[in-house]
Structure 1
Amino acid sequence: MDSAQREVLIQTYGDGPAKLQAAVAEAPEAMRKWRPEAGEFSVHEVGVHCADSETNSHGRIRYLVAEDNATIIGYDPDGWARKFAYHDLPLEAALLTVEAVRANTVPILRRMSEEDWASAGTHTESGAYTAEDWLRTYAAHLEEHTLQVQGVVAAWEAAGRPQP
């Protein structure tokens, strides 16, 4: 990946919180804890998941760059949602966490050297894992969850649920 490609991904990464927040804002309050299907996340759960994922990502890039052959620990997002009862956690705090974590990480990404971008470790679920792998993953992460939120809203509307 060259520096121009990285910059596009860094910009996408930095823009993610605003896109997610806008999608959540479009979800009527009455439907934010509604699940379109059993086993699928509600809008609320997506937001809280993103906070957990982003706080993990915050540490992951730092370990990859600062530690030799860092071990990146995977986790079970569905298990976390159950264990931590995501519907009982505050959505607004989760969205603010996502925003803060990314605002804190973008300046680091923009200052990373070619050597930093080549940093590698081992992910417990996927094996070899580089800083560029991290960037590809997390640049897409909030984009994917923004689409997921929009899909839940569309499913709510298709099910004949009331509009705000």
Structure 2
Amino acid sequence: MNERPNKEEYAAFYEGYIHLVPEGNVIELLQKQAERVELSMRSLSEEKANFRYSDEKWSVKEVFGHLIDNERIMSGRLLRIARGDKTSLPGYDQDTFMQNNPFKTYTVVDLAEEYAAVRHSTLLLLRRLSPEDWMRTGLVNEYTASTRSIAYVITGHELHHLAILRDRYNVQT
């Protein structure tokens, strides 16, 4: 899928994420992104993975865990919309997820394995969508969302957090 979603296909608050996605096939971008992220995760020491640049901020493990949680949720939405489900899908509260997260108990290897499994699942789903599937729309948190916009949000959301990991945590991504 090479066509970017238009502004009618997503909520305005996703504009920043979608804008971060470079031109190209979004499936190929997600595959390349996965390869970089897995290498980055596996290169971390446990000490570095538990680092927080401020007491109230997420650890490196928690940032990667948030990416995993978010992708699971977003790919579930993507599947339902691609299949024509017109049920209004709920939002989610990332802060509640992070208050109850298990990521501090994960090793770096655990985190990398789970990330790889989630991304692999997303890629399998995306590779099998028809052109019509990509264009379907539904409601997410009371906003219109297309299948393709969700794929772009997954990609851009991860790019956003990878930049934070580079800039604030000094993690090579």
- Shorter-chain TM-score tier: 0.7 to 0.9
Partner of 2:33: 16
Change (3 A) 1:18 1:80: same
Q: How many residues are aligned here?
A: 152
Task: Say which one has the larger Rg.
Answer: 1
Partner of 1:4: 2
Whether the 8 Å CA contact 2:42–2:112 is kept in 1: the answer is no
Residue 25 of structure 2 aligns to a residue in which SS? helix
| CA positional deviation for 1:91 | 4.2
Map residues 48-59 of structure 1 onto 2, 5 A cutoff.
48-59=65-76
Residue 170 of structure 2 aligns to a residue in which SS? helix
Q: Distance in 1 between matches of 2:128 and 2:35?
A: 22
- The answer to whether structure 1 residue 39 and structure 2 residue 39 are counterparts is no
Change (3 A) 1:15 1:141: farther
**From 160, 165, 171, the counterpart of 1:149:** 165
**From 61, 64, 69, the counterpart of 2:86:** 69
Residue 4 of structure 1 aligns to a residue in which SS? coil
Partner of 1:137: 153
The one-letter code matched in structure 1 to 2:151 is L
Q: Distance in 2 between matches of 1:80 and 1:4?
A: 32
The one-letter code matched in structure 2 to 1:32 is A
1:59-118 per-residue CA deviation (whole Å, 9 max, x = no partner) reads 111111113324332212222111235323444333222212222232332332222112
Q: Distance in 2 between matches of 1:35 and 1:141?
A: 20
| CA positional deviation for 1:44 | 0.9
Structure 2 gap segments, 5+ residues each: 5-23
- The answer to whether structure 1 residue 96 and structure 2 residue 113 are counterparts is yes
| CA positional deviation for 1:37 | 1.9
Structure 1 gap segments, 5+ residues each: 156-164
Residue 132 of structure 1 aligns to a residue in which SS? helix
Normalising by structure 2, what TM-score? 0.74
Whether the 8 Å CA contact 1:60–1:72 is kept in 2: the answer is yes
Normalising by structure 1, what TM-score? 0.77
Residue 71 of structure 1 aligns to a residue in which SS? coil
**Which segment is superposed worse, 36-45 or 65-74?**
65-74
| CA positional deviation for 1:137 | 0.2
